Amino acid sequence: MSAIATETTKAAESTRTVHFRIKRCDGPGKPSRWEVFDVPVPAHANVISCLQWIAANPTTADGKATTPVVWESSCLEEVCGACTMVINGKVRQSCSCLMDEYAPNDGDTITLEPMSKFPVIRDLWVDRSRMFDALKRVRAWVPIDGTYSLGPGPMEGPKESETRYKLSECMTCGCCLEACPQYHLETDEAAWATSFIGAAPISQARLFNEHETGAVLKADRLEALMGPGGINDCGNAQNCVQVCPKEIPLTESIATIGRAATFEAFRRFFQSR
């Protein structure tokens, strides 16, 4: 039996006390502080269920009454990306983070922090809207008139469908942006508009460029990615692909869009002569 399996079996046997060290912040622009909570953790608990216990019992380990910790979650099955946070130094979804793996023993400590590349709204809840703005920037949609029936869409081969299905699994969780050394938290709107867009929107541009109908906006998407903050700002560190919970081939998408942007630049150059 592996060491993890042994620890997991041990953890499953009884409720244990785990120290939750949580980075807290009362609101945008407010200073942050650490608070520790001692949580009775039953077998098979996940981080969210422990946060729910803390919300119902907002008293720190040293007996001080405090406010309930705030976080965001929705699907609870690693589909929406809302519960993403930094757990023991690594960005991931908290709903799928099992305590039996992360803190199997009585007296273990687990550390929770909000993602650092997004503005904090409160405690572990961050504002991911800059990622959704980036999807608008690269026109990540298929432009169709939905006011009347257009009949069946274009046929897609199994190979293309397999490639695009994988790309479509992106849940805009932000893990790839959190891990990227080129992606920064910009509070200034003007600086944000020209700062690196990150791997997820680049990969979504590829998803829609490779759709037969979506391809009509290909030149617009490439234009957005050829400018400041676009594809050329990627330093190819490949952290993004390592942390993506959906195992999306982000570096392959970056290379594909990089090649398409080069062709587009040549096309424009020769067209203008």
Q: Where in the chain does DSSP place strands (E)?
A: 16-25, 32-41, 84-87, 90-93, 109-113, 120-122, 125-126
Q: Distance of CA 192 to CAs 29, 130, 196, 201, 244, Å?
A: 17, 9, 8, 15, 23
Q: Which is nearer to ligand SF4, 94 or 182 (CB)?
A: 182
- Asked if residues 125 and 71 have their Cβ atoms less than 8 Å apart, the reply is yes
Residue 199 found at the interface with ligand SF4 (CB under 6 A) = yes
Closest residue by Cα to residue 85 from 112, 103, 110: 112
Using CB under 6 A as the binding rule, the residues of this chain from 145 to 174 that contact ligand SF4 are 170-174
Three-class secondary structure of residue 35 per DSSP = strand
Q: Which is nearer to ligand SF4, 24 or 117 (CB)?
A: 117
- C-beta of 80: minimal distance to ligand SF4 in Å? 11
Taking CB under 6 A as the criterion, the residue among 246, 249, 252, 255 binding ligand SF4 is 246
- C-beta of 33: minimal distance to ligand SF4 in Å? 28
Taking CB under 6 A as the criterion, the residue among 69, 86, 91, 95 binding ligand FES is 95
Q: What is the DSSP letter of 173?
A: -
Residue 224 found at the interface with ligand SF4 (CB under 6 A) = no
- C-beta of 81: minimal distance to ligand FES in Å? 5
- C-beta of 199: minimal distance to ligand SF4 in Å? 4
Taking CB under 6 A as the criterion, the residue among 239, 257, 260, 264 binding ligand SF4 is 239
248: its two tokens: 């999306």
Taking CB under 6 A as the criterion, the residue among 18, 39, 240, 257 binding ligand SF4 is 240
Q: Distance of CA 237 to CAs 172, 182, 183, 252, Å?
A: 20, 9, 11, 13
Q: Which is nearer to ligand FES, 69 or 225 (CB)?
A: 69
- Pattern 64-83, ligand FES, x by CB under 6 A: ---------xxxx-xxxxxx
- Asked if residues 93 and 81 have their Cβ atoms less than 8 Å apart, the reply is yes
Three-class secondary structure of residue 224 per DSSP = helix
Q: What is the rounded CA–CA span in Å between residue 44 and residue 101?
A: 9
Taking CB under 6 A as the criterion, the residue among 73, 94, 195, 203 binding ligand SF4 is 203
| Site residues (vs ligand SF4, CB under 6 A) | 81, 170-176, 180, 182, 198-200, 203, 234-240, 244-246, 248, 250-251, 254
Residues forming contacts to ligand FES in the complex (CB under 6 A) are 73-76, 78-83, 93, 95
